[in-house]
Amino acid sequence: MIRLCFCYNKDSEILKGAIQKEVNKYPEIKFESYNEDLFTEKKKSYSIKNWFAARMTPFCGIFNDEKCAKGFYSEAKECTEQNIVNFLFDNYAHVKIDIPETSSTLDDLINDCKQMYNE
């Protein structure tokens, strides 16, 4: 299971919303966010940042099967929407093409094509 944990405060709520909107495009990724301004979420936020030895907020950590996969640090100015989106696309985007089933035979399809171009 892939988890994206975003630790933020009141100054980075817009970034949180933008990242959450992007993560919704990836159904296999679970988005979790923790506001350090709230007493009930502060401990969890510090715990996640501790996994990656991060100090500043905002911070984004990605876990793959409960192992640290990637951290985006404010200290290094990596915690940006573009960096996170690029990482998700490069590592977790899967193209799925649904081909509808057809009961037509090849001859039927050829005849349909001929009729379209003859008209």
* pLDDT tens-digit map of 13-57: 999 999 999 999 888 899 999 999 999 999 999 999 999 999 999
Q: What is the pLDDT of residue 3?
A: 94
Distance CA 91, CA 29 (A): 11
Q: What pLDDT digit, counting tens, does each position of 51-89 carry?
A: 999 999 999 999 999 899 999 999 999 999 999 999 998
For 33, the 3-state DSSP assignment is strand
Q: What is the pLDDT of residue 79?
A: 95
Q: What pLDDT digit, counting tens, does each position of 86-119 carry?
A: 999 888 876 555 556 666 677 777 787 778 777 5
Distance CA 24, CA 60 (A): 16
- Contacts for 18 with CB less than 8 Å, ≥ 6 apart: 81
